Amino acid sequence: MPFNIVVPPLSESVLEATVADWLKKVGDQVQAGEILVMLETDKVALEVTAEQAGVLANIMHQTGDDVHAGDVLGILDEVGAGVSAAPTAPVAQPAAPVAAAVAESIASKDPSRVEATPVARRVAEVNNVDLAQVSTGSKVTKSDVESYIAGQQKPNYAQPAPAPTQAPAASPAPRVAPAAPQAPVAVDSSKREERVKLSRRRRTIAARLIEAQQTAAMLTTFNEVDMSAVQAVRTRHKESFKERNGIGLGLSSFFVKATIGALKAFPSVNGEIQGNDVVLKHYYDIGMAIGAEEGLVVPVLRNADQMSFAQIEKQIRDYAKQVNDGSLPIEALMGGTFTITNGGVFGSLMSTPILNYPQVGILGLHAIKDRAVVVNGEIVVRPMMYTALTYDHRIIDGREAVQFLVKIKELIEDPERLLIDG
């Protein structure tokens, strides 16, 4: 009997998805658990698998279609029912070595067999690129395809053609007056432009940023933090910490703990406006912004106040790996009470982050630079970092925002206090 292939449930913040790539075509036989189609949301790529063995009888939504949870993507028939492959006359098989070579050649040139991200497949399709020619031995990414396209567009420096044989001299032509200079020819700018459709994630990011700017009364305040004490702690304990926990002691865990200490001191920064009410959240689900190929994603550290330094570092490492290979579960992106974003990893010295709406606060971290500062009346060189807090002025006053950043500064500059306040 026919079986519907449907869009799986999405998170409460994801309303729709886009069909990124069908891995099977009508008439193909599939096994239970085999991936049929890839969907792309604004946050993650979703795999839709076959819940039973059968034959793909119909495709209801093609690549590029927008779909919602519960929509029917296609129809799967039981094996032997519905659509089936037409019988063909027997074909003489080549000798064993030749057959193996032919089979290997066919498989290597089948783009559907090349492991690639949905974005890479879409870029390859738009530019008529054979993914089999791009394959690097690992999952092909968008940047791999773009690098291949750039390499194919290099100018072809062909050898000059041989000079033609000399013809007999002709009688001199009559002298003609020089032609008037021609007007400049208009250049077709369309040949130097490229039109690329915004991805599902980029469209959603754009919509949410506009929503945050049009809804919240955003204001940003700054402070600077002396990172000497944290760097000293990391230097003293990095070897034993890694040996004991299997991961390095980074900066993220220090700032997560310091943020929690500041949120406890200023609960409104961990709140949310719902109509005429303010919802104060007495739990600490901290979102960590991670840069991805198609835009920023913010997976959440659940109950971060109950996590150890090692647990925080491991969870962030796992999230980063899942973001890069496209396996981040959509549940990891749901919720969140406050967000931390670190532009310093890209070299940013100072920025004004935009709220991850409906949250009312976001902490921006930046590059650590040696600067001359005055300590106890003397000029010394210290590793300094600018921090920024963007906040919703509707429920957070400037005094609270400044004190919030001061609290983080105090905790980072005296890491022992993290054991108490953080």
Shared domain check, 234 and 309: yes
pLDDT in tens, 40-51: 876 677 889 888
Residue 30 has pLDDT above 70, yes or no: yes
pLDDT band at 176 (very low <50, low <70, confident <90, very high): low
Query: What pLDDT sits at residue 78?
Result: 79
**Which residues belong to the active site?**
393, 397
Do the domain assignments include residue 219?
yes
Q: Give the CATH number, domain containing residue 280.
A: 3.30.559.10
Shared domain check, 118 and 17: yes
pLDDT in tens, 77-87: 876 544 443 34
Global pTM? 0.63
Q: Give the CATH number, domain containing residue 33.
A: 2.40.50.100
pLDDT in tens, 301-334: 999 999 999 999 999 999 999 988 888 888 898 8
Closest CA to 251 of 229, 266, 223, 222: 229
Do the domain assignments include residue 198?
no
Do the domain assignments include residue 159?
no
Stretch 270-278: mean pLDDT = 94
Residue linked to tokens 């206090």: 417
Query: What pLDDT sits at residue 198?
Result: 79
Q: Phi, psi at residue 40, to the nearest 5°?
A: -120, 120
Among 152-166, 328-342, 408-422, top mean pLDDT goes to 328-342
Among 176-180, 211-215, 413-417, top mean pLDDT goes to 413-417
Do the domain assignments include residue 315?
yes
Shared domain check, 135 and 13: yes
What is the C-alpha separation between 37 and 19, in angstroms, rounded?
8
Shared domain check, 129 and 271: no
The better pLDDT of the pair 195, 161 is held by: 195
Task: Name, in order, each residue with C-beta under 8 angstroms of 209's C-beta and a sequence gap of 6 or more.
Answer: 354
Shared domain check, 267 and 134: no
Rounded to the nearest 5 percent, the helix, strand and coil shares of the chain are: 35, 25, 40
Shared domain check, 269 and 405: yes
For the record, the structure tokens of 179 come out as 């032609």
Number of folded domains in the chain?
2
Whole-number average pLDDT of the chain: 82
Shared domain check, 368 and 251: yes
Residue 18 has pLDDT above 80, yes or no: yes
Shared domain check, 217 and 365: yes
Residues 338, 269: contact at Cβ < 8 Å? yes
Residue 265 has pLDDT above 50, yes or no: yes
Stretch 72-99: mean pLDDT = 55
Shared domain check, 131 and 222: no
**DSSP element (H, E) containing 383:** strand 378-392
What is the C-alpha separation between 96 and 100, in angstroms, rounded?
6
The better pLDDT of the pair 293, 277 is held by: 277
The better pLDDT of the pair 99, 380 is held by: 380
Q: Tell me the Cα Rg of the chain.
A: 30
Residue 173 has pLDDT above 80, yes or no: no
- The range of the structural domain enclosing residue 15 comes to 3-83+99-147
The better pLDDT of the pair 171, 391 is held by: 391
Do the domain assignments include residue 231?
yes
The better pLDDT of the pair 90, 356 is held by: 356
Do the domain assignments include residue 203?
no
Query: What pLDDT sits at residue 97?
Result: 45
Task: Give the distance from CA 116 to its chain's centroid.
Answer: 15
Closest CA to 293 of 195, 194, 196, 202: 202
pLDDT band at 105 (very low <50, low <70, confident <90, very high): very low
Query: What pLDDT sits at residue 396?
Result: 96
Shared domain check, 125 and 240: no
Residue 290 has pLDDT above 50, yes or no: yes
Shared domain check, 217 and 69: no
Query: What pLDDT sits at residue 92?
Result: 43
Q: What is the DSSP letter of 214?
A: H
Residue 103 has pLDDT above 90, yes or no: no
Do the domain assignments include residue 296?
yes
pLDDT band at 183 (very low <50, low <70, confident <90, very high): low
Shared domain check, 375 and 276: yes
Query: What pLDDT sits at residue 344?
Result: 92
Q: Which of 131, 147, 163 is the last residue of a domain?
A: 147
What is the C-alpha separation between 63 and 35, in angstroms, rounded?
15
Do the domain assignments include residue 158?
no
